[in-house]
Amino acid sequence: MPKPEPKLITFEIDGREVQAPEGQMLVDAAKMGDVEIPYFCYEAKLGQPVGACRMCLVEVEGIPKLQTSCSTPVKDGMVVNTKSDRVKQAQNAIVEFLLVNHPLDCPVCDKGGECPLQDISYGWGPGRSRFIEPKRHFEKPVALSPLVAIDRERCILCYRCVRFSQELSEDYQLVFLERADHTFVGTHDGHPYVAPFSGNIIELCPVGALTSQAYRFRARPWDIEDAGSICTLCPSQCNVKYTTRDDNKVVRVLARDNEDVDDGWLCDKGRFGYQAIHVPERVTRPMVRDGGELRPVSWERALSEAAGALARAGDRTAALVGGEATNEDGFLTQHLLRGVLDSPHVDSRTSGVLDPQQQAVLAQPDLTAKVSDIEWAGTVLVLDTELVDESPILDLRVRKGVRRNGLNVIVATSRPSTLDTNARALLRFAPGAGEALLAALAAAVSGQGDLEDLSGRAGTSAEILRGAAELLQEPGPVVVLWGERLSQGERGRQAVARLIDLARQLNLSGTEGAGLLEVPRGTNARGLREVGCVPALGPGLDTATRAGKSAGEIAASVPGEVSALLLVGADPLTTHPDRGMWERALDRATSVIAFADFVTEGLDEHADVVFPAESEAEKDGTMTHPDGRIQRVRQAIARPGEVRPQWSVLAELCERLGNPTGLLSGAMVSERVFESVPFYEGITLAEIGGKGVRWQERDGAARLPRVELPVGELEIPPRATAEGLRLGTGPSIWSNRVVEHSPLLRFLLPEQVVELSPEDGERLGLRTGDQVSVSVDGTSVSGRAFLRSDMPPGNVFLIEGTRTDNATALLNGKPRSIELLRAEETSPA
Amino acid sequence: MTDSPRGNGRSLRESDPLLADRIVGTPEQQAAARPAVAAGWDEPADIEKAPATIPDLSEVEVPPALKAEIEAHMAKYPNVRSAALPSLEAAQRVHGWCSPEALRQVAAVMRVTPAYLSMLATFYDMLNTEPVGRHYVYVCTSVSCHLRNAQALAEAMKAAKQEGDDVNVREFECLGACDMAPMANVDGRFIGPIDPSEAPEVLAALREGRTPLPGRGLGDEGFRLPWEGES
Amino acid sequence: MAVQEVRVLLDNIDEPGLNHIDTYERLGGYQAMRKALTEMEPDEVLAALENSGLRGRGGAGFSMGKKASFLPKGSMDKYLCCNADESEPGTFKDRLLMQKNPHRLIEGIIIAAIAAGANKAFIYIRGEYVLQADVLDAAVREAYDKGYLGQNILGSRNDVDLVVHRGAGAYICGEETALLDSLEGKRGNPRLKPPFPANQGLYNGPTLINNVETLNNVPLVIAKGVDWFKQFGTEQSTGTKVVSVSGNVQRPGNYEIALGIPARDLVYGLAGGPPPGRKIKCWFPGGSSAPVLLEEDLDRPYSFEAMAEAGSMLGSGAIIVVDDSVPIVSVALRLAQFYRHESCGKCVPCREGTNWTVKMLERIDTGDATPMDLEIMAQVQTNIIGNCLCVLGDSMAMPIGSMIEKFRDEFVEHIERAREAKDRLSVELGTYAEPADAVA
Ligand SMILES: Cc1cc2nc3c(=O)[nH]c(=O)nc-3n(C[C@H](O)[C@H](O)[C@H](O)COP(=O)(O)O)c2cc1C
Ligand code: SF4
Ligand code: FES
């Protein structure tokens, strides 16, 4: 459904002529005339109004009954009165009714000072209660989950939290129970409300009924400050507000509504992960290996050891840049390698090789969709990615599009997706057969090529593909949300070629509101590529003078080829495929230098120098959203201990290696980045401001060379193996180090789960809950079996990034089949 | 409605007992207040439990007859969720009440969350989220019946209930039988007018598997109100 | 004084086997459907219904034909919902009609559906009506077997599917939009209007909602004609009405009368009046949601307009008689308790207002109230009226308000006597304390 153009109308409110977009609800339209109408249950973000609280009643000329302004769209010439005696009496009545069962414990309430009920009672209430019967009394806050507490005395049953659970995140775990004046908010059978987005209900609650277990009693509204930044934990890059105390402690994270990015929602990882900032195990001092152990040392010692090691290694240095690095850190890292050490080996991707031509094509402004295109598209193709795990906030955006605008969704994933229930078409293909699927889909769209054969190669059916192709050809722009996974396999290049070919057939670059939107692995994956953190590309996607090794090639390099390894927030043992090979590579390296906020297993064993890394709340810099929006990461609290800005450490290393950068401040580094990336040119931090700017929408975009979508013969994709069980893997939203280190989130840390179809389970004599071990040529990991009815037979799925039994151990960039899958002798009761 | 994402589904207690104690009290304190389908106002969530997401059919044993009936209901409506009430009614017939397990079974077949069903089961008066008895005696005590001494009948019925009777005796709002007042709805059979002195007979009949007060039920052969026919 | 019923809806009601399709057809059943299908255009049917002046029998009394004509034309799925939730205290007419003569309802549904262009019909019957629901299920099966329901009815291009849907115990599900939510498998919460069901009702499709008795009238109007129908009743209240009379009368029951006869004929003539030696204190003319009237109002004609004029309403057409042996406070309390229990809990004034009212009435009864509480209670009722999402709140506030207004002295006296009694008792028990309100 195309985005409608709002037309302005004029209406009268309290004697004032006011202009507002036609159809806007009166509560909102009133604000245009500085008229405030009190309300509780209305929240535009929650969709259709419910009209439950009755607080927003107003008089509309020509309608005998008072109307709820939350559900009354403004019309031209409408005459509204919000101050008449009738309205006043109604408002008094509602406030009095609300306070009938609301405790007056504001002085000890977390919401005190920022509470709509408090404010509205003063502003619109009768100022007295004639209710003398005993109020309801219940246990004061009880746990609703490990993250959220509920105080049912304070609840005014406004429907906001349950609507979020039911209609926004659609997890449908939080509901109203009982009826009439017994109604209360709860869950089934006392189960905790645990879901990826549960924390949003805390911000939605208009009273102090829902509170954060982490924030409760930590602070009162008047001794805190808010600092805007973005969440750096996943590519969604949600805009956040850090609530800080005494300039050195983050006590809460709130959403900072940006409809071009997050629509005002956060996932629980982003909302509660801040706790990991203030834990004792955090690295806050430089360390070097001394007598086989990492020991805290002075900056001077750490810097000189690092500089020494790099000097010795010279062009045999390689750098891995982690996805959470800023553009500035990434830029300086590749400068250190290419410019100072004369080494081309820098990569920010975990596997696969980027083809420069393809990258230039994918970066074309008119081929990239922006986040808000999703909800207004005609059809969205979710391709080889599980949004809730890999970019959670986009999952909410897709649901919004379906709910509000009748968006068609095609889910093309190997593993059953949480979006399946919202999908018009499901394309289940063999893990790793994305290339074949795209080829088949293109054939179905164009009617050329051997659809039967290609769909067979993809391990799916021509019939379903035809259905999907029809949806793709329905009117309305098409947005393809594709997972980076697609481009990472050994045939990543061919898969991307197929993706681009489909884009050409659907004319995505020629259609307003259509395009590709990558769901990368790393938060700042796009920015890091654009500032030159890929082997083949320098800053600005310029083909590098000397192509370096990709991450995989670095790991596979023969002894002596790579002697120093620089890990900038990267941890190959948890994030990169083929864990075994990486262990050998780290062993081989004569020196390993890392920037890290926590000492991981890999660092503990292999690192020679560890520089303390800033946490997301201590950083200054910029990141580039997958849709090209450049956003600011802003420091909210002082850096603890001896933590220094990462850019200054990198600059220091350049200097010690005889190549001073002349950079004196974070802002200067940003400027240097903007100068060095042609299509970023002219951008300033001020221009980026709080909401960010998409570089494609600036004149600078013209500096990216225009390239046409290639036409030409494409290879026939290989056939997905039919025999045995195919292995599929993917990360969990919770496989992240901040989950591991935040006391309240830790319980969500995933343990390995082996998902397979009931048929296969039957055959192998397995039942849900059995402890099983999965082996792929020699290497095996173990986990809990889960037989899911919606799993196509022949596939087995494991989780990437678990602390133990990480599925990455089984990967090597090729489609893999499982040799052995059996119950372990020691099955726990 | 969505399934839970990957790797989620462990309880806090499993992973961090100490924190669990801090947040919801020790297992002992928890056991003291074990929530029911609708955990009460005062109940904390039970951190022992994993979140109640849509149960997978491969994890839930559903009696085949019940499964078939639910699926038949689902087929009747343009939107399967309309089948929720009839399906809960069916599950209650099988399980005697809308127990957590009963709801899980319906949820697994209908592909909805258990919470979606407890939300309904606790709203409607005829669905029981506690094991109150397989039989029921609803005594109407709304205005019209109230005017004809329904309170006395209600008390008499409650008094007549004996230890071990598998009967839910309760006052009920207007049953649409004010002409029969005072009356009771016994397992769907409207009986009235009933004299309080007849209450023990009604419960005895239920106890012994007989039809209570034969001929006195609406729809019984030749049923008439005492004053009908006379004028 | 012998008053005669006018049995039009209740004709043959005691005929054995009337609930079976062949008996019903032998007595002329399904002729109206044939006529509507073969001899009339949908618009003619709508016109006939509108001209007949038939008004809704479920409570609101809106013109049946008009409402049916509000549904937009077009090929989308459209729905008809028969409201058989009959839960209004004092009302039991639909029960009789469904149990004894299910096929006339089905015939009415088929005609109305086709006229309004609806292809999917539902009967939402309250779960407590087990017997009646079983009867309907059987009848629907018979109608399907005869080809009166399903695809291409009587070879025409009309399809009507009919499902009997059982509720599970909630008065609010009688409210038309709550009914829709409940039928969609949700909690029975009323919806905001607009949008109105005619445009966006069940599954967001255009939907016509009518009461059982309303739909029972449809075959009569079509078979016997508008003029025949209008011979009964008054200008603004045409036709007959099955009136449920209950409470303190000697012969409670359903009586069918032509609208407009004096209420006294119903209450005394047909229902036998209050027990010997008793006088009528007040009566509800249209179910428990209707403001109460006094004995002298019995001489008013029993019609929509006259009851409205008297400051009450005909509502569901159910008369509840209260005699002078009953304290008005106990009636008010039972009533308030009913609405508190049945409030869906969605909107604030109803949820909290019913709850507050009950608590005040309980205090009045236990001697913990003062006349001032009576004022507050009266104001609480005005604060509810007009401020709720649906009219359940008003349905308590209006009758309670009318009782306070009409029996103020009895309330005050009740308050005083209860206080004295309580003080006496507490003095005897040695637990005397300042009355609650003195503390507050
Ligand atoms: C609280 C409440 C309960 C109601 N209960 C019923 C009912 O049980 N049966 C009924 O037919 N109408 C009931 N109504 C009226 C319906 O909302 C609706 O007006 C009626 O079913 C329309 O049908 P009609 O036009 O044929 O009367 C109720 C209304 C309210 C506000
Ligand atoms: S008035 Fe009562 S029943 Fe109606 S919506 Fe409000 S709470 Fe629900
Ligand atoms: S905001 Fe309008 S009813 Fe609550």
Whether the upstream peptide bond of residue A718 has omega within 30° of 0, thus cis, is no
The string of pLDDT tens digits covering residues A635-654 is 999 999 999 999 999 999 99
Task: Decide: helix, strand or coil at residue A670.
Answer: helix
Nearest to B95 by CA among B52, B65, B134: B134
Distance from CA of A85 to the nearest CA of C (A): 13
Q: Residues A546, A550, A552, CA angle at the centre, nearest 5°?
A: 150
β partners of residue A295 = A288
**Ligand 1 pocket member C59 (CB < 6 A):** yes
Instruction: Give DSSP secondary structure letters for A228-271.
Output: EEE--SSTT--EEEEEEETTTEEEEEEE---TTTTTT---HHHH
Task: Look up residue C212 and give its two tokens.
Answer: 């059982």
pLDDT of B36 reads 45
Q: Quick check: A411 contacting B, CB < 8 Å?
A: no
| Predicted confidence (pLDDT) at residue B10 exceeds the cutoff of 70 | no
- Residue closest by Cα to atom 30 of ligand 1: C175
- Cα-to-centroid distance, C86 and ligand 1 (Å): 8
Among A97, A133, A179, whose Cβ lies nearest the Cβ of C353? A97
> Cβ contact (<8 Å) for A133 and C356?
yes
pLDDT of A141 reads 86
Task: Look up residue B77 and give its two tokens.
Answer: 């409506």
Task: Decide: helix, strand or coil at residue A326.
Answer: coil
β partners of residue B135 = B167
**CA A518 – CA A625 distance, rounded (Å):** 10
Residue labelled with tokens 């009643």: A57
pLDDT of C440 reads 34
Q: What percent of chain C has pLDDT over 70?
A: 97
**Ligand 3 pocket member A51 (CB < 6 A):** yes
Task: Decide: helix, strand or coil at residue A551.
Answer: helix
What is the number of the ligand closest to the CA of C189?
Answer: 2
Distance from CA of B27 to the nearest CA of A (A): 14
**CA C83 – CA B175 distance, rounded (Å):** 16
Q: Is the interface score ipTM higher than 0.85?
A: yes
Task: Look up residue A386 and give its two tokens.
Answer: 């599980």
- Cα-to-centroid distance, B171 and ligand 2 (Å): 23
How many Cβ atoms sit within 10 Å of the Cβ of residue C42? 18
> Cβ contact (<8 Å) for A97 and C386?
no
**Ligand 3 pocket member A53 (CB < 6 A):** yes
What is the number of the ligand closest to the CA of A57?
Answer: 3
Specify whether the backbone of C169 is left (phi greater than 0), alpha (psi in -120 to 50) or beta: left
Could you tell me where the beta strands, DSSP code E, fall in A249-396? 249-255, 287-290, 293-296, 317-321, 346-347, 379-383
| Predicted confidence (pLDDT) at residue C1 exceeds the cutoff of 70 | no
**CA C235 – CA C237 distance, rounded (Å):** 6
**CA A543 – CA A537 distance, rounded (Å):** 5
| Predicted confidence (pLDDT) at residue B153 exceeds the cutoff of 50 | yes
| Predicted confidence (pLDDT) at residue C435 exceeds the cutoff of 50 | no
Q: What percent of chain A has pLDDT over 70?
A: 98
A166 contacts A172 by C-beta, under 8 angstroms? yes
Indicate which atom in ligand 3 lies nearest the CA of residue A69.
Answer: 2
**CA B1 – CA C254 distance, rounded (Å):** 47
Q: Quick check: B53 contacting A, CB < 8 Å?
A: yes
Burial class (CB in 10 A: 0-12, 13-18, 19+), A667: middle
The string of pLDDT tens digits covering residues A504-562 is 999 999 999 999 999 999 999 999 999 999 999 999 999 888 989 999 999 999 888 99
Indicate which atom in ligand 3 lies nearest the CA of residue A39.
Answer: 1
How many Cβ atoms sit within 10 Å of the Cβ of residue A436? 28
> Cβ contact (<8 Å) for C128 and B188?
yes
Nearest CA in chain C to A183: C345
pLDDT of A105 reads 83
Task: Look up residue A576 and give its two tokens.
Answer: 């990169």
Task: Look up residue A732 and give its two tokens.
Answer: 């969990």
What would the mean pLDDT of C336-349 be, rounded to a whole number?
98
Residue partners of A101: CB distance under 8 A and separation at least 6: A135, A136, A153, A181, C352, C355
pTM (two decimals): 0.95
Residue partners of A682: CB distance under 8 A and separation at least 6: A674, A698, A699, A700
Torsion sign over Cα A296, A298, A301, A304: positive
Task: Look up residue A726 and give its two tokens.
Answer: 């195919």
Q: Which of C70, C94, C176 to mutate to test the pocket of ligand 1 (most atoms within 8 A of CB)?
A: C176
Length of chain C: 440
**pLDDT band at A140, cuts 50/70/90?**
confident
pLDDT of B39 reads 57
Among C182, C184, C246, whose Cβ lies nearest the Cβ of B179? C246
Residues 51 to 90 of B: which have CB under 8 A from any C CB? 76-79, 81-86, 88-89
**pLDDT band at C426, cuts 50/70/90?**
confident
- Beta strands A771-776 and A779-787 are antiparallel
> Cβ contact (<8 Å) for C347 and A52?
yes
What would the mean pLDDT of B62-67 be, rounded to a whole number?
97
**Ligand 1 pocket member C188 (CB < 6 A):** no
> Cβ contact (<8 Å) for A747 and B14?
yes
pLDDT of C341 reads 97
> Cβ contact (<8 Å) for B5 and A179?
no
What is the number of the ligand closest to the CA of A183?
Answer: 2
The string of pLDDT tens digits covering residues C395-418 is 999 999 999 999 999 999 999 999
Whether the upstream peptide bond of residue C194 has omega within 30° of 0, thus cis, is yes
pLDDT of B25 reads 61
> Cβ contact (<8 Å) for A93 and C388?
no
Q: Which chains touch A (3 or more CB pairs under 8 A)?
A: B, C
**pLDDT band at A371, cuts 50/70/90?**
very high
Nearest to B181 by CA among A138, C90, C398: C90
**Ligand 3 pocket member A68 (CB < 6 A):** yes
**CA B52 – CA B108 distance, rounded (Å):** 11
Nearest CA in chain B to A184: B41
Torsion sign over Cα A435, A437, A440, A446: negative
The string of pLDDT tens digits covering residues A641-688 is 999 999 999 999 999 999 999 999 999 999 999 999 999 999 999 999
**Ligand 1 pocket member C83 (CB < 6 A):** yes
For the sheet with A79-81, list strands across it. A16-21, A8-13, A79-81, A57-60, A67-68
Tell me the backbone φ, ψ of residue A158, rounded to 5 degrees. -85, -5
| Predicted confidence (pLDDT) at residue B197 exceeds the cutoff of 80 | yes
Indicate which atom in ligand 1 lies nearest the CA of residue C57.
Answer: 27
Nearest to C16 by CA among C27, C5, C6: C27
| Predicted confidence (pLDDT) at residue A384 exceeds the cutoff of 70 | yes
Residue in A130, A156, A159, A162 to test binding to C, most C beta-carbons within 10 Å: A130
- List the single range of A425-439, B18-32, B104-118, C315-329 with lowest mean pLDDT: B18-32
The string of pLDDT tens digits covering residues A141-200 is 899 999 999 999 999 999 999 999 999 999 999 999 999 999 999 999 999 999 999 999
Task: Look up residue C221 and give its two tokens.
Answer: 């109007």
Residue in B4, B6, B21, B30 to test binding to A, most A beta-carbons within 10 Å: B6
What is the number of the ligand closest to the CA of A70?
Answer: 3
- Cα-to-centroid distance, B85 and ligand 1 (Å): 20
| Predicted confidence (pLDDT) at residue B201 exceeds the cutoff of 90 | yes
Chain B residues closer than 8 Å to C272 by CB: 227
| Predicted confidence (pLDDT) at residue A129 exceeds the cutoff of 80 | no
The string of pLDDT tens digits covering residues A8-52 is 999 999 999 999 999 999 999 999 999 999 999 999 999 999 999
**Ligand 1 pocket member C207 (CB < 6 A):** no
Residue labelled with tokens 């209050």: C274
A784 contacts B9 by C-beta, under 8 angstroms? no
- Cα-to-centroid distance, C290 and ligand 1 (Å): 13
**pLDDT band at B24, cuts 50/70/90?**
low
**CA C220 – CA A573 distance, rounded (Å):** 82
Q: If you compute the radius of gyration of chain A from its CA atoms, what whole number of angstroms results? A: 28
Task: Decide: helix, strand or coil at residue C222.
Answer: helix
**CA B41 – CA A286 distance, rounded (Å):** 51
Residues 167 to 206 of B: which have CB under 8 A from any C CB? 172-179, 181, 185, 188-190
What would the mean pLDDT of A575-593 be, rounded to a whole number?
95
pLDDT of C437 reads 45
Residue labelled with tokens 């293909």: A429
| Predicted confidence (pLDDT) at residue A217 exceeds the cutoff of 60 | no
The string of pLDDT tens digits covering residues A90-110 is 999 999 999 988 888 888 888
- Cα-to-centroid distance, B174 and ligand 2 (Å): 18
Distance from CA of C331 to the nearest CA of B (A): 7
Task: Look up residue A249 and give its two tokens.
Answer: 């402690």
How many Cβ atoms sit within 10 Å of the Cβ of residue A381? 24
A824 contacts A772 by C-beta, under 8 angstroms? yes
A622 contacts A328 by C-beta, under 8 angstroms? yes
**CA B76 – CA B91 distance, rounded (Å):** 17
Task: Decide: helix, strand or coil at residue A336.
Answer: helix
Task: Look up residue C152 and give its two tokens.
Answer: 């291409």
DSSP type of residue A339: I
**CA C185 – CA A670 distance, rounded (Å):** 56
pLDDT of C432 reads 59
> Cβ contact (<8 Å) for C348 and A52?
yes
Task: Decide: helix, strand or coil at residue A791.
Answer: coil
Chain C residues closer than 8 Å to A206 by CB: none
DSSP type of residue A432: T
Distance from CA of B58 to the nearest CA of C (A): 25
**H helix count then E strand count, chain C:** 18, 8
pLDDT of B3 reads 64
**pLDDT band at A3, cuts 50/70/90?**
confident
The string of pLDDT tens digits covering residues A230-263 is 999 999 999 999 999 988 999 999 999 999 999 9
Instruction: Give DSSP secondary structure letters for B72-120.
Output: HHHHHSSSGGGGHHHHHHHHHHHHSS--HHHHHHHHHHHT--HHHHHHH
| Predicted confidence (pLDDT) at residue C439 exceeds the cutoff of 80 | no
C254 contacts C213 by C-beta, under 8 angstroms? no
Q: Quick check: A184 contacting C, CB < 8 Å?
A: no
State chain C's mean pLDDT as an integer.
Answer: 95
Nearest to C393 by CA among C340, C315, C356: C340
**CA A687 – CA A629 distance, rounded (Å):** 12
Instruction: Give DSSP secondary structure letters for A25-84.
Output: BHHHHHHTTT-----SS--GGG-S----S-TTEEEETT-SS-EETTS-B--TT-EEESSS
**CA A617 – CA A245 distance, rounded (Å):** 13
> For A732, what's the count of Cα atoms within 13 Å in the CB-facing half-sphere?
30
Nearest to B153 by CA among B166, B172, B130, B135: B172
- Residue closest by Cα to atom 12 of ligand 1: C58
How many Cβ atoms sit within 10 Å of the Cβ of residue A361? 22
Greater confidence (A214 vs A94) lies with: A94
